Amino acid sequence: MTANRIFNFNAGPAALPLPVLEEIQASFLDFAGSGMSVTEVSHRSKWFDDVINDAVTRTRRLLGLGDKFEVLFIQGGASMQFCMIPLNFLAGGGTADYVNTGTWSTKAIKEAEIQGCDIKVVASSEDRNFAYIPKDIAFTPGATYVHITSNNTIKGTQWAAFPDTGGAPIVSDMSSDIMSRPLDVDRFGMIYAGAQKNIGPAGVCMVIIRKDMLDMVPDTIPTMLRYSTFAAKNSMFNTPPCFAIYTVQLIMKWLEETVGGLEKMEAHNLAKAGRLYSLFDESDFYYGTADKDSRSQMNVTFRLPSEDLEQAFVAGALKEGLGGLKGHRSVGGCRASIYNATTMEAIDALIGFMQEFERKNG
């Protein structure tokens, strides 16, 4: 661990790869020989053109995107997408299916309902406090899209495999697991991800959208809420969040050139999560909150025998340089967010602390 830096298990904004931070630091005052910081160069300059175009190109390569997809960068986070999706795709009628697997799915459903859209909640895991991913879902024939949240940061569940929707395009909130594993992108009409969990700092949302979905966008909604506006102007209809996009570009570069692609990233993520879940499965002191077949590889949620012990665990961990282990305020408990940037060294340190804490308090 670098001096004065903790092992960061925050759920978001979350840990960024150290080599990316070091590259930002090295170029912050003089970006690409411009004599300016990347936060100062014009978004209309060649310097920033190179940044955003490289971010798009690397995203395409990593996910194997064909020409039928656009890669966009939009402000407002994933929460803005909750309202933009039905606004863009259901304004002309049609129906959409939603699967409710936790807090963020619930918020997406609410935003569609506010607009009076015809949506159906075709499956939910609310009956067991969102501890699992629903199976054997009966989707609506001819649905305009099916909305899912691929990974649930608060409840610690994740779609291990994506559902058969009968041909309806999947629209997925992948804020917390995008670029953590390879995808069969042809099954998706749109993927969106707030950057601050797995691919960058807060301030930008990556949107990967199939071009035929853009044909549904009406010209009767506000200009800045149309996906077609961003697609037509390479995400630069107005001044974009330049620094956030620059960081995303560097993370795509790190994934390609340092990690070696999404297959290797997935193997590393599975190894990290597997070590933590094995500890739970062998312990009578710690227990995970998600069903085993629904466990997230990104957000490991767990409880201890009492809330007092949980508070002591979080406080003691921080003293040992392990930060961000408190569970979400809505559910309590503990959570280790182990996104792409989390190293095996961090996992080793956490497991060592957990074993010692159990020895002293079990």
Tracing tokens 């392990």 back to the chain, one arrives at 322
User: Do the beta carbons of residue 215 and residue 18 sit within 8 Å?
Assistant: no
Catalytically annotated residue among 173, 254, 272, 326: 173
Distances (CA, A) of 77 to 9, 150, 213, 256, 288: 21, 16, 20, 25, 29
- The DSSP annotation for 132-146 comes to S---S--PPTT-SEE
Q: Answer yes or no: 104 catalytic.
A: yes
User: Do the beta carbons of residue 171 and residue 189 sit within 8 Å?
Assistant: yes
Residues 6+ apart with CB under 8 A from 265: 179, 180, 181, 255, 259, 340
Q: Answer yes or no: 159 catalytic.
A: no
CA-atom Rg of the chain in angstroms: 21
Peptide linkage before 13 cis (omega within 30 of 0): yes
**Residue 294: other Cβ atoms inside 10 A:** 21
Tracing tokens 């940044």 back to the chain, one arrives at 51
Amino acid at 215: D
Distance CA 171, CA 105 (A): 12
- Both ends of the chain: CA-CA distance in Å? 28
Token digits for 148? 């899912």
Catalytically annotated residue among 197, 254, 272, 326: 197
Tracing tokens 């997925």 back to the chain, one arrives at 172
User: Do the beta carbons of residue 343 and residue 2 sit within 8 Å?
Assistant: no
- The DSSP annotation for 11-45 comes to SSS----HHHHHHHHHHSSSGGGSSS-TTTS-TTS
- Nearest Cα to Cα of residue 80 among 200, 227, 185: 227
Distance CA 352, CA 345 (A): 11
Q: Answer yes or no: 47 catalytic.
A: no
What are the catalytic residues? 104, 173, 197
